[in-house]
Amino acid sequence: MSHSIVLGAVAYDPKVVTIWDGFQRFFAEHDLRFDYVLYTNYERQVEQHFAGAFDVAWNSPLAWIEAERVARARGRKATAIAMRDTDCDLTSVLAVRGDSPLRTLADLRGKVVGVGASDSPQATLIPLEHLAQGGLVAGRDFEVRRFDVLVGKHGDHVGGERLAAQALVRGEVDVACMIDGNHLAFSKDGSLPRGSARILAQTGPYDHCNFTVLDGADAASIARFRELLLGMRYDDPKVRPLMDLEGLKEWRPGRTSGYALLEQACQRTDWLAPFLRHMGAA
C-alpha cells in the first residue's frame, strides 16, 4: 500500500465507529491505508487538524468556517474536497402549532422561539439569521429558548431539535426551528404528531458537512482518497450499506458556495470570536 490517510471526526453518536470502521475496510480493499481519530467536539478537532494530528477532517459547516478562517489568518489554505449529495441545498424551517394564529414573521414579536443547541447551524444559527434578516432580533423582539444538547457537536446530534419540536407540541414555545429533513423525520416518529404543526417560514438553502484538507497534506494520498470516495456507487451491494449509514447516495466534489448564510450568522453575532482568539487567529 503506497498511500495512507488519517481522518479526524467527531463522535456524535455510537454509529460513528461503525461507519468509519466500514470505510477502513473499503479503503483497505483498494490499497489505501486508512485510520481515524475521534474527538468529542469540533473545536478540538479543528485545533488538532492544525497541530498535524490527522490528514483530513470530516467537518460540520461551522467547523469548516472555523478551519477556513484560522487557515486564512495563518497564511495557509483550507480546501473542501468532497461532500455528500445530502449535504447540498438544505433548508431549515420555523414550525408553529397547527392551530397557531401566527402567519408571518412579524407575528413573532414578543413570542418564544425554540432552537436547538447553541452551536447548531441548522437549528439555531441559520434560523436566527433568517429572522434577523427579516428585522427581528433575538432578545429584543422575541425570546429564545435553547435546547442545548451536546454542545460542541454543532447540532449533529438531533436531540436539541427534537426537544424543541416536543416543546412546540406542548405549547411551551411558539415556534420551533429545525432542519427540513428532521421536520419530516419528526412527523414520522411522533415527535410532531400529524396535524400538530405547520411551517411558518423556511430559510434559504445552505450546505452541510465536507471533507476538509489543509495545505501541506500529502497530495497523492489525498487524491487517492478523493478518487475512491467519488467512485463509490450506490448500486454496488458492497458499499450501499456503508453509504446508507452515512446518509448519502453519491459523493460529490466539495464546494464552499453554500456556506454564505452561516457566514452571515457568524458575522452578525460574532460567534467565531472566542475560538479564533484561542487559535491566535482573531
Domain map of the chain by residue range? 3-87+207-278, 92-202
Q: For residue range 47-78, what is the model confidence (pLDDT) as tens digits?
A: 999 999 999 999 999 999 999 999 999 999 99
pLDDT band at 151 (very low <50, low <70, confident <90, very high): confident
**What integer pLDDT is reported at residue 157 of this predicted model?**
79
**What integer pLDDT is reported at residue 158 of this predicted model?**
84
Q: How many CB atoms lie within 10 A of CB 139?
A: 7
Tell me if 3-87+207-278 shares its fold with 92-202: yes
**What integer pLDDT is reported at residue 129 of this predicted model?**
98
State the chain's mean pLDDT as an integer. 96
Q: For residue range 95-133, what is the model confidence (pLDDT) as tens digits?
A: 999 999 999 999 999 999 999 999 999 999 999 999 999
Q: For residue range 21-52, what is the model confidence (pLDDT) as tens digits?
A: 999 999 999 999 999 999 999 999 999 999 99
**What integer pLDDT is reported at residue 150 of this predicted model?**
81
Whole-angstrom distance, CA of residue 222 vs CA of residue 225: 5
Among the four given CATH numbers 3.90.1150.10, 3.20.20.210, 3.30.70.980, 3.40.190.10, the one describing domain 92-202: 3.40.190.10
Class of the CATH-defined domain 3-87+207-278: alpha beta
Q: For residue range 207-261, what is the model confidence (pLDDT) as tens digits?
A: 999 999 999 999 999 999 999 999 999 999 999 999 999 999 999 999 999 999 9
Residue 1 has pLDDT above 80, yes or no: no
What is the percent of the chain where pLDDT is above 90? 94
Give the lowest-confidence range in 10-14, 84-88, 164-168: 10-14
Residue 2 has pLDDT above 80, yes or no: no
